[in-house]
Structure 1
């Protein structure tokens, strides 16, 4: 197969004037930039789901400011692997599962998709439970009623709302994350210690510390995020009549890759900013007060009340509900995309329900199982733990598949991933592998 260099626009020699029909470079406009944000922003925001909030709360309560460095460390790793996922979706016009089913054995696809569906379902259950507990803190009532309300509303919105309107709703929901930035105002923070904890890694050689590190890695680098962002890039391309997969229409690749990079960096930066805000708030309140045994995000909100006041509790609880409303559609949607693309069904939230019955059925099934798990005696904390274990184990082979696909010319044509992005993607994969090995050693030792 003949190799080609990517078309990246007009190249002018020094002194040459641009062609008369060349479009002048447009000045930066904040409104246009914000409008261009989409899959990366939503993916990054959904990473801070109620389960993630619980993990960051536990980390801050146990280890204080000193655990903040993990957010700075994981940021470039998140950006790299998510950008590669997005590029695969934009270049091929298919999500990860859609590419795996065309280039790899069926048994491998089935294992990956099954594990993803199980992990996402458990995560949905845990998120619904946390949202229900947070709502109970705010207004009272029975948690099970809120589980049903939030679960059904999330699925109904995905099925009923027009795609562009639904994406706009998700983008507006990302603002709910700033509740955790606002919560900083109610804590007496030692900013010197907080900055030192973020900038200077301080390791503690004990099982609890490394278990927390593994949990943070499993929360920030999750397979469902890879599947969602790749599929959303493919979806956005399908609904835009001006766009085609880049392997079919090479013009404009550089502009698209620049948009993807900016979108991903903003989304992951938002994700880690919120995570740092949660860790710092909890470190300055619960850790300082000696409350180190926090098992969930709702418990963290409740524990804040006597220390930081009712407003801090309310802000924290509202943030849990808002982030859950953003994360549950992403969890259910990524499972539906993975299953549907792997079976080569018509997929996409832009399709009418009657045009993609099987896709929407899987979406509803994932959410339905998540709702049902809240009616069982299964401990939500234990379920969340095993969800993290499955996510951690699943992330490694998915990341390896993604990195190999990103260098295959029969997948990416002229747009194979090279250079620093490629090696940063492998560094992210290696870091995830080390965290899984550390988790396995910890499980074996216990």
Structure 2
């Protein structure tokens, strides 16, 4: 394992702030090229050795592991802890099914950014700006900055509530949390930062004794994985469901994981290991969410606190009252840990995006003097969020905490649409573009999120809608989605066949008739075709983005995106209206 140095091996001294690594590469920041220097190991840039045994593969996974695990654990941030605990306290385990349905959403969305990051070597925001122009780039980045800023506030609220449980006043807790968060990233060492995050992630182990101390009810928990709508499908329940979606699958995750993969210097050769890293993270986040939801559900069932969720701090005090001081303390530790991981990840997602937007250095490998915009942006975000938390009361904090999760859920379809478009952009991903099956699954996810958002909007406009009317609305939406998806699938299938044929043709260019590979290309077996595709993938990296022509925007696609954009803007306004209604009791 290589030791930490100021400038890791394979990282050249850049000639200027805006230097481009290679005129034929899309990579913009020289810190994004070199050895993989992870918390648990190092992989040299020129490593081409085959992993032929399990021990070698495990060591490789340990070195690669990080972006997927951190982005998933960052899901269970302070807002997530509050949302899961609130769902458990108010509805028991009857909404556990939402967590199970989110597993494929988590993997499909994040696997797409894994490919985009490893193949292109640039962040999500940079790709959107370069491929779709400043208009759509500004929309995407604008969404991210607003929701992320509010999300970071919820993390500081979590720090305040967690340390407040132990008697530390907020005028001490908040500055302490802000100083710690900045100190973690300010050292100019990616490895040191990742090791600190791994240490925080390891604290998640306390969720297991916390759950067991809450006297788990296995039968009740199992029944909660059957889809149901406790109390009927109404705007309040839909807001909770959208909040669970928003806190578990948030837009910032797309930007963070792609940029973190780029910052860790993961290339296409290591994608399969990064996918394994992602699955590990998904397992941790789902188990943690169930433990948090279950702790509140099991402990408060049959008590005067059931259905009376206020905030995460109230949950800790309630667990102390109906359980023990140790149980309340474990929940407070979980909340503090979640807030620190979440604040770090969300702040980095924002400052990574800032660097992408203005084409400035944005890497944890740089020192403060080498990348001032990156670190100053991070410090300003932390300072603003800390100040808002410091000078706001509990009522305002409650509104922010509840609203930000719902906003993230409402805005997710827009972020996912751009993600799918980028993953079908052949000049960017080449042989790594989405398959037909991947597009079908992604389309189902996007349309489901849109239907969920539509249902929330409908219940705000028409509060007397019945459960059966909403179910019929979902059914009509499914039929529309199937018909539209079928047309898109046919187009994608034809495009995929054309691209596969082009790959085989390119593989035979310049091959003499007597060579081994001069087989009749029309008689190639599926195994041969797969081998050619794998070889093409290993060698493919996105060319300099400035050399690529932008994808054509048909009138239909432009109209669809503008319609989606306009609707989501309206949905955001209605979420705010619903939050105010709940806060005022109207």
Is TM > 0.5 for Structure 1 vs Structure 2?
yes
Alignment-derived partner of residue 67 in structure 2:
39
Superposition deviation, residue 434 in structure 1:
2.3
Q: Find the aligned partners of 1:95 and 1:24 in 2 and give their Cα distance.
A: 28
- Corresponding position of 2:455: 438
Q: 1:132 touches 1:146 (CA, 8 Å); kept in 2?
A: yes
Secondary structure, aligned partner of 1:293: coil
Quote the residue 1:145 is aligned against.
172
1:303-339 deviations in Å (ceiling 9; x for gaps)? 1112121111000001111111111111110011112
Aligned match of 2:85: 57
Shift of 1:30: 5.2
Q: Do the aligned partners of 1:187 and 1:284 also contact (CA within 8 Å) in 2?
A: yes
Query: Within 2, Cα distance between the matches of 1:166 and 1:44?
Result: 17
Mapped partners of 2:50, 2:402: distance in 1: 53
Partners of 2:61 and 2:277 within 8 A in 1: no
Deviates more, 1:30-39 or 1:66-75: 30-39
Tell me if structure 2 keeps the 8 A contact 1:84–1:425: no
Write the mapping of 1:263-412 to structure 2, written as runs, cut at 5 A.
Answer: 263-291=277-305, 292-377=307-392, 379-412=396-429
Structure 1 residues 116-125 or 431-440, which shifts more? 431-440
Paired residues of 2:188 and 2:368 also in contact (CA < 8 A): no
1:17-70 per-residue CA deviation (whole Å, 9 max, x = no partner) reads xxxx98462125656544432100000101000110000011001111211111
Greater radius of gyration (CA): 2
Taking the aligned partners of 2:93 and 2:407, their CA distance within structure 1 comes to 28
Choose 56-65 or 433-442, whichever is displaced more: 433-442
Q: 1:414 aligns with which of 428, 431, 440?
A: 431
Give me the whole-angstrom Cα distance separating, in 2, the residues matched to 1:264 and 1:116.
Answer: 22
- Could you tell me which residue of structure 2 aligns to residue 5 of structure 1? none
Deviation per residue, 1:60-100 (Å, 9 max, x gap) = 01111211111111111111101111211111001110111
User: Could you list the runs of 4 or more consecutive aligned residues of structure 1 that deviate by over 6 angstroms after TM superposition?
Assistant: none
Instruction: Indicate the residue corresponding to 1:174 in structure 2.
Output: 201
Aligned to 1:214: 242
Q: Give the paired residue count.
A: 410
How far apart are the structure 2 equivalents of 1:164 and 1:328?
Answer: 19
Within the candidate set 187, 190, 193, 1:163 is matched to: 190
User: Is residue 188–residue 367 contact of structure 2 (8 Å, CA) maintained in 1?
Assistant: no
Check the 8 A contact 1:87/1:260 in 2, yes or no. no
Q: Is the 8 A contact 1:395 1:432 kept in 2?
A: yes
CA contact (8 A) 2:94 2:224 kept: yes
* Stretches of structure 2 lacking an aligned partner (at least 5 in a row): 1-47, 464-577, 579-586
Query: So what's the TM-score if we normalise by structure 2?
Result: 0.67
Q: Which residue of 2 aligns with 1:76?
A: 104
Q: Is the 8 A contact 1:224 1:331 kept in 2?
A: yes
CA RMSD of aligned residues (A): 1.9
Instruction: Please list every run of 5 or more consecutive structure 1 residues that lacks an aligned counterpart in the other structure.
Output: 1-20, 238-242, 247-251
The secondary structure found in structure 1 opposite 2:434 is coil
Q: Contact 1:89/1:231 (CA < 8 Å) preserved in 2?
A: yes
The change in CA–CA distance for 1:169 and 1:307 in structure 2 (over 3 A counts) is: same
